[in-house]
Structure 1
């Protein structure tokens, strides 16, 4: 559980901080000095700084961190959708004060750093109307140390290692995405996916056809395999194996779900912008054709046979087609709210978020369009979401490309690869067919169903929900029985029947998804494509 810098992810019960109007004659330096002298409360200082620097400040009630045992109140400070370390206390007042102190420990050194103004970004049209102090604060607030060079190098090394073993598939990585796990030990690639197409066929009734093979989608489904693997490790009876899992048990009120360990942070690498990304917004004349085009571009998009169209331009008959799906960019925005784990894993773990998106696309020197696509459309949604869910605004970081792209005129333009840390070999899928190719280094069965398909995910879910996890939960301490008490027990889940019903049973996830789609519709971005329920009505 670490929405930002190791903090606990915000919950749904909010106390919105009303901005206290600091007297115009009182400078930030004076306020900070009064705070350090014990004359000003930490929460009051944050209120005043919010008024001066014009940032969005909220105190959000959340769950106690996993390392805390006992019953305490917990709050975290959220500034412009970035959550800081969780504060705890015997009373809500104490928890708010400690959360404010934790936030100030990080903020004040940046505000007091010399030469802050020299680090200001190039101002766009929208930023020029903000006060200079607010712009200075934003520059300090967003300037955080990152392994900008470690990430592309780690991706480059992993792709080279995989393709050296199978050079015949080196032209399958023109569009590639990868998830990187950063810990105190450094950065390592944990999931890789490539591709740029959708399947031509209708989804199979048994969940064994891979419908969407765009790079970000393939990499995300690979990440889900990684999470399932580490859940099985966590529930293992071997202490050594369990200790190597990326998950931890939460204490206090969050004991019913596992979370990522405190030192684990996830990043996403993409070498091409996902389909559906908007271009940087320009100063357009109202009611002009260009302004109308820009408005259309900001909305939701559908992927149809490799091309992207606004949802408003697709008829009802076309939207019901099996060949239509939401574009990769809109899915990326959705995952920054719902988490990358999906509905089934939400029975066991808290939402898993990405905090930095590294883009190696040479055409993405200006990241404002990507930033808007991923997060700006969802501003203000966090306070509406249920416990554990929030909108994480990732930093968009241009980096050098990992030179693994196939040459022009690739022999296998529809082939997609996937790999997860721990795999002995990569899998090659024909994205148009939605199935593994005959010559794939890894093949799960003679039916050529991909290890990323829905049926494979359901199989992994049942391994976790079944005896592999239940006996360990019943025997273990540290609040593990909360998983069962909370309705996530073996019998309850295994009796669900179909894949679709299991997804529907993830109630908080489904609630967050409904809020997300209602928010997009209310903001004028269009209606999210509703999938036909028959696609998910299968069981094993």
Structure 2
């Protein structure tokens, strides 16, 4: 500015009264030119750049909240060509240090740490709103936080790239309440371990700046990290590294080898030295109500990896055109305490529902091709196979069945058989609508749990994505109304899973043969938020009453995974795939028609599952939990499962009593078919 004003002064001094010469131009009139000065010397208005206001950096934000703060230079180290400055600022009686290659960057770093100490919002969007930050119009609110560019003060993270940042300690202090500069999405289950852990190590208060690999190396020098595997498409690679400490092997996975190494080291620190790297409540697993056979985080990570690896195997390492997907789901079965013996039962993908004009009155079309819904139908198919094994004359088949006969009739699962549902992202509806980002270190839980929008029943929209509250829609759907153009509505995945937590995953037909079967765990690959997921899965119907004796409100383990899955960019495909153990290959279904591209019915459709039920019914009529002489229509058989329907009515009543809306049912004509029709 000094240089500019100096030049202006010279120009003014050179003006001569005769109007001649380069330096003798007359100064344009202040109050307008009135024809005396040439237009080209008018002060030009600066063009405003179109687009949003640039984001304020941490220094600006802190100055708005706490004006007049003094930044002091604490030290300057390093060579002349690469100095390191340390600046300090005192806020609320606490001193924060920031480092950087320039004083400006060191001040910025100190300001960011100061802000993180007292500015806490449940999500980045609320923080941006409170801070007056203008977001660009194309910001993706469903993106994982780790996928955002490293902008100044974006979501209160430092400008360090996610993969590089594994610093322990927070705000320059020595506490381990967060994973420092960029928190890992790791909800450790060590506080849920039944065996006592060693007392916190002397190393549990390391100086800020040490990553897990460095700390583990101090505790156990000379460790060797091994490369285990590499999978995924080029834009979404996943590496697995392992390290053996005290005869125990720990694995970590990440988008690069460095990240995977850090996560392996982190797993070892957590298990062997009781180092709590992340205490953010919204990222902690919620233990199940009942017998917990596995460490939550170990189980969650194992289930996730098994499902992803199986999908990779079925799609030729994700190279098949049918590997395209937005959501991946799967069910894993454990038969004891050893996670290594877990088995993938089914995998599925999909995010779309049937178009109303393709509804089938013979049960030949799939209405809902969302991945988790398809996974549950695949699991039912597996349960039919296991019942058939139990009835087999082949001794080997009979012994490998997961069912045993009950004394009072019917069947139940063998002791310690558990099913774990994996979904690559939070289920649509109530669980997802309030969790648009990975939980951040500032997120201490739901700050508005009593808002009316929380817990509402929601429906998916025909031929589209997203959900709407049921209150704004008609809860009675008619066959002719849908065929004439009314949108076919389907309950959201959050609502359907909540229903499974009451009536079981086996469905009304299978309840003729078995006791209710519930998921032991629900594990999310991304967008896990403990408060929102627990509310959506069971908490909103905690006051359910009058459940029949066999039924209960199931509270499964809820957990995220250590290495949250990257968001799947691009348009969602129109197809859904499914595979169940024993199948040779994936089945590909057009989600719009509910059938394959040749117009053939899916192996998961109502008609196919009813056919298997009828075959089993003829063999098991003497030991049925529900007596029915001759099966009629699909609808009649479903209605005969009276206790199941009593449980379902208790669920609907609980939603209604809580003011969360009414359950929307499909047109009744869909179920009024017989196998001969």
Matched, 1:429 2:589: yes
- Counterpart pick for 1:264 among 406, 417, 424: 417
Residue 167 of structure 1 deviates from its aligned partner by 3.8
Matches within 5 A, 1:386-535: 386-400=548-562, 408-409=570-571, 413-438=573-598, 447-467=599-619, 469=620, 481=622, 483-484=623-624, 486-488=625-627, 492-493=628-629, 495-535=630-670
Correspondence for 2:367? 211
**CA–CA separation in structure 1 for the residues paired with 2:300 and 2:461:** 34
Deviations along 1:432-470, one digit per CA (max 9) or x if unpaired, are: 1111124xxxxxxxx511111111111110111124x45
Correspondence for 1:145? 295
Unaligned runs of 5+ in 2: 1-191, 201-273, 436-444
Provide closer, same or farther for how the CA distance between residues 384 and 452 of structure 1 changes in structure 2, counting only shifts above 3 A.
same
**CA–CA separation in structure 2 for the residues paired with 1:316 and 1:265:** 35
Provide closer, same or farther for how the CA distance between residues 283 and 532 of structure 1 changes in structure 2, counting only shifts above 3 A.
same
Matches within 5 A, 1:304-453: 304-305=461-462, 306=464, 307-315=466-474, 321=482, 323-361=488-526, 363-364=527-528, 366-381=529-544, 384-400=546-562, 408-409=570-571, 413-438=573-598, 447-453=599-605
Secondary structure at 1:296 match in 2: coil
**CA–CA separation in structure 1 for the residues paired with 2:315 and 2:290:** 41
**CA–CA separation in structure 2 for the residues paired with 1:520 and 1:505:** 24
Q: Is the 8 A contact 1:173 1:195 kept in 2?
A: yes
- Counterpart pick for 2:426 among 273, 278, 302: 273
**CA–CA separation in structure 1 for the residues paired with 2:290 and 2:615:** 46
Secondary structure at 2:316 match in 1: helix
Q: Is the 8 A contact 1:173 1:404 kept in 2?
A: no
Residue 402 of structure 1 deviates from its aligned partner by 8.9
Q: Is the 8 A contact 2:288 2:557 kept in 1?
A: no
Residue 530 of structure 1 deviates from its aligned partner by 2.6
Deviations along 1:153-192, one digit per CA (max 9) or x if unpaired, are: 2112211111018843344332111011011362111011
**CA–CA separation in structure 2 for the residues paired with 1:343 and 1:140:** 24
Provide closer, same or farther for how the CA distance between residues 120 and 149 of structure 1 changes in structure 2, counting only shifts above 3 A.
closer
Q: Is the 8 A contact 2:475 2:663 kept in 1?
A: no
TM-score by length of 1: 0.64
Residue 310 of structure 1 deviates from its aligned partner by 0.3
Deviations along 1:65-121, one digit per CA (max 9) or x if unpaired, are: xxxxxxxxxxxxxxxxxxxxxxxxxxxxxxxxxxxxxxxxxxx99699886999899
Instruction: With a CA cutoff of 8 Å and minimum separation of 6, indicate the structure with the bigger relative contact order.
Output: 1
**CA–CA separation in structure 1 for the residues paired with 2:290 and 2:384:** 38
Correspondence for 1:154? 306
Matches within 5 A, 1:133-282: 145-146=295-296, 147-164=299-316, 167-184=319-336, 186-202=341-357, 203-251=359-407, 255-276=408-429, 277=431, 278-279=433-434, 282=446
More helix by share: 1
Residue 387 of structure 1 deviates from its aligned partner by 2.1
Correspondence for 2:233? none
Provide closer, same or farther for how the CA distance between residues 523 and 121 of structure 1 changes in structure 2, counting only shifts above 3 A.
farther
Unaligned runs of 5+ in 1: 1-107, 126-136, 286-290, 439-446, 471-480
**CA–CA separation in structure 2 for the residues paired with 1:268 and 1:517:** 23
Residue 283 of structure 1 deviates from its aligned partner by 3.2
Q: Is the 8 A contact 1:156 1:402 kept in 2?
A: no
Q: Is the 8 A contact 1:172 1:406 kept in 2?
A: no
Q: Is the 8 A contact 2:312 2:318 kept in 1?
A: no
Provide closer, same or farther for how the CA distance between residues 262 and 345 of structure 1 changes in structure 2, counting only shifts above 3 A.
same
**CA–CA separation in structure 1 for the residues paired with 2:578 and 2:383:** 15
TM-score by length of 2: 0.52
Residue 215 of structure 1 deviates from its aligned partner by 0.8
Provide closer, same or farther for how the CA distance between residues 209 and 119 of structure 1 changes in structure 2, counting only shifts above 3 A.
same
**CA–CA separation in structure 2 for the residues paired with 1:455 and 1:402:** 38
Provide closer, same or farther for how the CA distance between residues 120 and 519 of structure 1 changes in structure 2, counting only shifts above 3 A.
farther
Q: Is the 8 A contact 2:288 2:556 kept in 1?
A: no
**CA–CA separation in structure 2 for the residues paired with 1:139 and 1:313:** 34
Q: Is the 8 A contact 2:424 2:565 kept in 1?
A: no
Residue 369 of structure 1 deviates from its aligned partner by 0.6
Matches within 5 A, 1:10-21: none
Provide closer, same or farther for how the CA distance between residues 316 and 517 of structure 1 changes in structure 2, counting only shifts above 3 A.
closer
Secondary structure at 1:515 match in 2: helix
Deviations along 1:119-166, one digit per CA (max 9) or x if unpaired, are: 8995869xxxxxxxxxxx999998962423321221122111110188
Q: Is the 8 A contact 1:375 1:393 kept in 2?
A: yes
Provide closer, same or farther for how the CA distance between residues 487 and 267 of structure 1 changes in structure 2, counting only shifts above 3 A.
closer
Residue 371 of structure 1 deviates from its aligned partner by 1.2
**CA–CA separation in structure 2 for the residues paired with 1:212 and 1:515:** 24
**CA–CA separation in structure 2 for the residues paired with 1:455 and 1:295:** 40
**CA–CA separation in structure 1 for the residues paired with 2:568 and 2:472:** 33
**CA–CA separation in structure 2 for the residues paired with 1:406 and 1:533:** 36
What CA RMSD, in Å, does the superposition of the two structures yield over aligned residues? Answer: 3.5
- Counterpart pick for 2:458 among 291, 301, 304: 301
Provide closer, same or farther for how the CA distance between residues 161 and 526 of structure 1 changes in structure 2, counting only shifts above 3 A.
same
Aligned length: 384
**CA–CA separation in structure 1 for the residues paired with 2:457 and 2:289:** 30
Provide closer, same or farther for how the CA distance between residues 113 and 401 of structure 1 changes in structure 2, counting only shifts above 3 A.
closer
Q: Is the 8 A contact 1:177 1:216 kept in 2?
A: yes
Is the radius of gyration larger for structure 1 or structure 2? Answer: 2
**CA–CA separation in structure 1 for the residues paired with 2:375 and 2:291:** 30
Q: Is the 8 A contact 2:477 2:665 kept in 1?
A: no
